[in-house]
Chain A
């Protein structure tokens, strides 16, 4: 039973290029979350999606960032016109439907390290 799969593991982009990060959730999971982590920092929430729907994008910058989770295929986090400040580790997590009320236990991928030159 494969875990959460993220690719690529490392992505290098020059300023102004586009970055596309992919995430396949665990089998049977319909909820996907994207988090960003800077060195020596915790994870900062970006966006929460279910199949074909964005549920909460309150942590995602309004410009240049977008996310989708289509009916078929992986979730995509897209960063247009990248800047040096976008350099970070981007983690995807998935969860099944919450049980027992509001209990979301997250399963994380290994992350994509984005470096902007």
Chain B
């Protein structure tokens, strides 16, 4: 079953702008992860945020988690053309496998 739902489905921005993607989920979680997928490739892990954390940074990435609203956001600052990819959130509950959302397709125009 689909746990995470990303919003928007697609996002197109100019280079240098910030990109914000949101993820909502249904059940309680241990952690939430964000992955990136370039066209025709496998997913690459970006960042993991635990259920007891509210915000996490990694380079130009900022992730927030609101467990009361069951939602997370991924912010990419000062975007580059190379950031063009699909971004997926994935949730983990207990010892179950990661459940992925449908993703947000980000296009960064130079």
Contact = CB atoms under 8 A, between A and B. Distances in A.
Interface stretch (B11-19, B42-50, B58-66): B42-50
B48 A103 contact: yes
Interface string A29-42: 00001010000111
B45 A56 contact: no
Contacts of A42: 2, 4, 88, 100-103
Contact of B30 (A101, A110, A111): A101
Given A48-B97, A91-B42, A103 B88 contact: no
Contacts of B33: 105
A91 B43 contact: yes
Given A102-B30, A103-B48, A104-B92, A111 B41 contact: yes
B95 interface: yes
Interface in A74-117: 91, 93, 98, 101-111
Most buried by A among B33, B48, B94, B98: B98
Indicate the size class of the contact surface on chain A: 20 to 34
Contacts of B20: none
Contacts of B101: 42
Interface in A1-57: 4, 6, 33, 35, 40-45, 48, 56
Given A33-B97, A104-B97, A43 B43 contact: yes
B4 to A, nearest CB: 8
Interface of A: 4, 6, 33, 35, 40-45, 48, 56, 59, 91, 93, 98, 101-111
